[in-house]
Amino acid sequence: MGLVTVIPARRWPWYIGVCVLACTSRPLTPMQQQTIIAWMACEECDEGERDSVAVLGHAAVPQLATYLLHGPPDSRVASYEKHLGDLRRRLAAYATTHPDIGALEDSVAYVAGYLANYDALYRSRAAFSLGDIGGSPAQLALQAAAARPLRGDVLQHVTFALDSLWHP
C-alpha cells in the first residue's frame, strides 16, 4: 500500500506543510524549549510567557503542533499521574482522621479529572500560540486539530485561534 493511498488527499496539505516546516526548521534550543514549557505551565502568566513563545516564530510551530494534537509529553503525563495518585492516597489517609472534609471522589475520577485539565491546558495554550504566530503551517495544525474530537473548551480555543490567526 503506497503512501498516497494511506493519507487522504484532503490531509496532504497538512502533512506537506509540517514536513516542509520540519525539514527547514532548526531544532529548538534548550532555552527555546524552556520558553514553551514556561508558557504551558505558568499559573498567573504575568511575565510575558505567551509573548515570548510568539517571538520564537515559526521555529516553535512543530513543537506547538505536537502539543496541540497530542497533548503534553507522555513522560510528563506519567509523572503527573503518579503525583496525583500519591496525593489522592495521602488525602484518603487524611480523610480518615478528618471526616469533616466530606466524602472523597473516587480516586480514578479524581486523577482523571486533573489529568484532563492538564491535557487541555497544553492543547489550548498551544492553539493560542499557533494563532499568535500565524502562517500556513500554524493554520494547518489548527485546522487538523479542529477536525479532531477534542474537549469542548479546547475546541473553542482552537476555533478562536483559527479565527484570530495572524497572517504575516
Site for another protein in 45-74 (CB under 8 A): 45-47, 49-50
Stretch that binds another protein, among 11-19, 53-61, 77-85, 135-143 (CB under 8 A): 77-85
Site for another protein in 6-25 (CB under 8 A): none
Size of the site for another protein (CB under 8 A): 45
Among 28, 55, 91, 146, the residue binding another protein under the rule CB under 8 A is 91
Residue 43 CA, distance from chain mean position:
15
Among 114, 135, 146, 166, the residue binding another protein under the rule CB under 8 A is 114
Please provide the DSSP assignment of 129-167 as one string. Answer: HHHHH-SHHHHHHHHHHHTS---HHHHHHHHHHHHT---
Report if residue 148 touches another protein, rule: CB under 8 A.
Answer: no
Site for another protein in 118-137 (CB under 8 A): 118, 120-121, 124-125, 128, 131
Neighbours of 127 (CB within 10 A): 29
Please report, for residues 44, 46, 63, 102, the alpha-carbon distance to residue 119 in angstroms, rounded to integers and kept in the order given.
18, 22, 15, 28
Stretch that binds another protein, among 20-28, 38-46, 53-61, 139-147 (CB under 8 A): 38-46
Amino acid at 82: K
